[in-house]
Amino acid sequence: MIRRLFAIIVVVLASALLLDIGLYFIYPDVSELKKTYPKKTAFMKYREQEWERKGKKNKIIHQWVPLSHVSSYVIKAVIIAEDDKFWSHEGFDFEAMQKAIEKDIKKKQFAAGGSTISQQLAKNLYLSPSKNPVRKIKEAILTWRIERNISKKRIIELYLNVAEWGDGIFGIETAARRYYGKAASELTAKEAARLASVLPNPRRYNPVGTSRYVEGRSDRIYEIMVKRGIVIPEYEEVMREPEKSGEIEGKVVDGLPGVDMKGDIPKLPK
């Protein structure tokens, strides 16, 4: 009798678990993300609940910004730091996952690293930061659906707008203004590298702090950007130099008469 009751309980629990996981094949409707922005993500709600439990009165700071208003350095730095195969994979980087699993086995713990940007987006939008296997299965289902319904460009746009960059600081625009006092479109390559370097643990590390971890990781990201031709240090240095007023007035360039900006344009000899 007891064994039969136990078997029934196991079957019921297993069925409930499968139903809970299976629900994510149809819900939520990820296709809505093509045109709409979620007002508040599951991750933001989780942070609010966490603060409430601890008696904190923190508030979510968040501002949406289109991808066209984000520095290209940020996009490339984040992809280098978090998911270097982003443009070529279909949601999962199996090589990175294998390395993460091997590392977990050595440490005898389930850390579940190796997540792609698409996986992180699924988690941030719909799930919690819990690292249990059931949550990872749900994340995989959602990632698969997101990759098949939304373009890569839209995925990175959504990710940059929902990623956490500090306690209660969500989105690249908020992070840019909080740490550097400027819009996301104005961030430099080095600033982008520092912001990208803290994504694995944004509440522990500060992008403008003096942490050895941030210094080392951001330097490495910046070096990769230089090697790939994303950043040309000499060009960056020249572009930062202030312009001198009237510098070209009356000068000769390559043997041609200079242009007097205050007078008429001289005619070239025939």
Question: Which residues span the domain enclosing 127?
Answer: 34-239
Neighbours of 179 (CB within 10 A): 20
pLDDT of res. 112: 45
- At residue 41's C-alpha, the angle toward residues 39 and 47, to 5°, is 120
Residue 270 has pLDDT above 70, yes or no: no
Q: How far is CA 171 from CA 92, 149, 151, 185, in A?
A: 23, 22, 19, 13
The answer as to whether 248 is a domain residue is no
pLDDT of residue 131: 81
122 is a domain residue: yes
DSSP code of 183? -
Tell me, what CATH number does 91's domain have? 1.10.3810.10
pTM of the model: 0.81
Q: Inform me whether the pLDDT recorded for 263 exceeds 60.
A: no
Structure tokens at 113: 């690293």
In a domain, 13, yes or no: no
Is residue 259 predicted with pLDDT exceeding 60?
no
| Residue 247 resides in a domain | no
Tens-digit pLDDT profile for residues 136-182:
999 999 999 999 999 999 999 999 999 999 999 999 999 999 999 99
Within-domain flag for 266: no
pLDDT of residue 103: 61
Matching residue, tokens 């678990």: 17
Q: 120 in a domain, yes or no?
A: yes
Number of domains in the chain: 1
pLDDT in tens, 122-131: 999 999 888 8
**Plot region of 174 (φ>0 → left; ψ -120 to 50 → alpha; else → beta):** alpha
Does the residue 159 lie in any domain? yes
Task: Output phi, psi for 21, to 5 deg.
Answer: -70, -45
- Provide the pLDDT confidence category of residue 265 given band limits of 50, 70 and 90: very low
Examine residue 10 and state whether it is found in any structural domain, yes or no: no
pLDDT band at 82 (very low <50, low <70, confident <90, very high): very high
pLDDT at 152: 97
Q: Is the pLDDT of residue 266 over 80?
A: no
Q: What is the pLDDT of residue 130?
A: 83
In this structure, of 9-13, 100-104, 142-146, the range with the lowest mean pLDDT score is 100-104
